[in-house]
Amino acid sequence: MSKPLRVGVAGLGTVGAEVVRLLARQGDLIASRCGRRIEVVAVSARDRLRDRGLALAGIDWRDDALGLAGDPRIDVVCELIGGADGVAHDLVGAALGAGKEVVTANKALLAHHGTALAEAAESKGVALGFEAAVAGGIPIIKALREGFAANRIERVFGILNGTCNFILTAMRDNRREFRKALAEAQKLGYAESDPTFDIEGVDTAHKLAILASVAFGTPVDFAGVHVEGITQVGLIDIDFARELGFHIKLLGVARVTEHGLEQRVHPCMVPIAHPIAHVDGSFNAVVVEGDFADRNMAVGRGAGAGPTASAVVADLIDIARRQRLPAFNVPVADLKALPRASMDRHRGAYYVRFTVVDRPGVMADMTAAFRDAQVSIEALIQRGRNPGDTVPVVMTTHDTEEAALGRALARIAALKSTREPPRMIRIEQF
């Protein structure tokens, strides 16, 4: 058996502690599968006195995580600190500069600095592994790099944030308003005390930017992702969606169009007949469409100690087996930047909800706005009558360009009869 692969782990939070635990518990199994043992020889975290339930005897403790990068006994630095900059960024850069392999679960770091870090890894001939950065326990990076290697990827999309999926499921199944569903997610540990990155779509956007780069061979372009969260989705929208034959999901979608690379994160109305509409709770799902493999969907836990640690160790096993692939599927020099496809040029169907005063002529004004913008209405729903007071009106459209819809909505929003900004959700007919 070859000499052990020696690992330094930076960050002993939920995931870091579970990585150490997994390597100890599954040591013999892992060694039998990759021909050598994987051993944690050093760790670093902020609080040395905290009881993490780990046996750290014989493992060096470093108060300064950057010390792991210069330790000659360490082959791989495992960065599990988090954050796009600061210590995490400095440590990964220093480790790669020192010629050490790196494994990270840090999607923010990769979304902002992934291309530069991949270039640094290539220059030293070492691996940059990040399976755990996208969709937790779903091995989607490996699938794109290996399983779909013979395919041109046509589209990749999915549910990439378990917090939002849990909230939308609770709203639908338990008739919770958004804030109550969020509070329930926080109570159960699915949402942070500050859930902003989750509910505003930023976490999903980080992951989508990474997926798009691997899928389409482009530099990571987080700034090119259109991002909307779920805070404006109301229980009323959940109900109308069900009536119209849809479930609402926060999706990340990436594809190459005639206008360039389209990367978008936003709530979507997904037909109930589509399998992804039934991926509920805190689960994630990723769909890959290839020109030969056709459509494939993977479902699994998108977060949590066990699934994320499993993905981290999968990268370590690849390194132990001496399997090194370009971080983003092709060498950095071969990554091809594509124009950003503007959302104004996105074409699709739409659900729009209005809150208007119930009085004669209002519907004529609204439909005239759609007519003049050349947006075709597919369906119109108005529940009940409430003369002189407000009522919800829902319209769905045939396929149209988003800029045209925007013109119609701006005109309707300016009507004296309109009491709230129109709420728009894109309809996806996958």
**Domain holding 71: CATH number?**
3.40.50.720
- Expressed in angstroms, the distance from the first to the final Cα of the chain is 49
Q: Are residues 120 and 161 in the same domain?
A: no
- Domain closes at, from 133, 157, 190: 133
334 found inside a domain: no
Tokens linked to 141: 């990076």
80 found inside a domain: yes
Element holding 133 (H helix, E strand) = none
What's the number of CA atoms in the CB half-sphere (13 Å) around residue 321? Answer: 14
Domain count across the chain: 3
Q: Are 91 and 77 in contact (CB under 8 A)?
A: yes
- Cα separation, 265 vs 145, in Å, equals 23
Q: Are residues 128 and 101 in the same domain?
A: yes
- Cα separation, 273 vs 246, in Å, equals 8
52 found inside a domain: yes
Residue 1 has a pLDDT of: 66
**CA nearest 423: which of 412, 181, 415?**
412
Between CA 350 and CA 360, with CA 355 as vertex, the angle to 5 degrees is 105
Q: Are residues 194 and 242 in the same domain?
A: yes
328 found inside a domain: no
**CA nearest 264: which of 134, 158, 354?**
158
340 found inside a domain: no
Sole residue written with tokens 């199994």: 29
Tokens linked to 73: 């006994």
Which regions in the chain score pLDDT beneath 70? 1, 384
Q: Are residues 152 and 296 in the same domain?
A: yes
306 found inside a domain: no
Q: Are residues 127 and 164 in the same domain?
A: no
- Cα separation, 103 vs 131, in Å, equals 8
- Three-state DSSP at 364 gives helix
Report the catalytic residues: 207
Residue 272 has a pLDDT of: 96
Q: What CATH number is attached to the domain comprising 249?
A: 3.30.360.10
330 found inside a domain: no
**Positive or negative: CA dihedral 65, 70, 72, 77:** positive
Residue 408 belongs to domain spanning: 345-427
Q: Are residues 123 and 164 in the same domain?
A: no
- Cα separation, 177 vs 232, in Å, equals 11
What lies within 8 Å, CB to CB, of 252 at 6+ separation is 157, 158, 160, 204, 205, 207, 208, 211, 263, 264, 265
Q: Are residues 218 and 105 in the same domain?
A: no
193 found inside a domain: yes
- The b/e string for 233-257 (b: 16+ C-beta within 10 A; e otherwise) is beeebbebbeebebbbbbbbbbbbe
Q: Are residues 243 and 189 in the same domain?
A: yes
- Domain closes at, from 265, 280, 301: 301
By CB atoms closer than 10 A (0-12, 13-18, 19+), residue 135 is buried
Q: Are residues 281 and 242 in the same domain?
A: yes
Backbone angles phi, psi at 189, to 5 degrees: 85, 10
Q: Are residues 216 and 287 in the same domain?
A: yes
For residue 5, the cross-strand partners are 38
Q: Are 363 and 415 in contact (CB under 8 A)?
A: no
Q: Are residues 215 and 120 in the same domain?
A: no
Element holding 28 (H helix, E strand) = helix 27-34
- Three-state DSSP at 232 gives coil
Backbone angles phi, psi at 11, to 5 degrees: 105, 115
Q: Are residues 263 and 366 in the same domain?
A: no
Mapping DSSP onto H, E and C, the string for 328-353 reads CCCCHHHCCCCCECCHHHCEEEEEEE
Q: What CATH number is attached to the domain comprising 377?
A: 3.30.70.260
Q: How far, CA to CA in Å, does 419 sit from each of 61, 85, 246, 392, 416?
A: 60, 43, 26, 10, 8
Q: Tens digit of pLDDT for each residue in 5-42?
A: 999 999 999 999 999 999 999 999 999 999 999 999 99
- Cα separation, 321 vs 286, in Å, equals 27
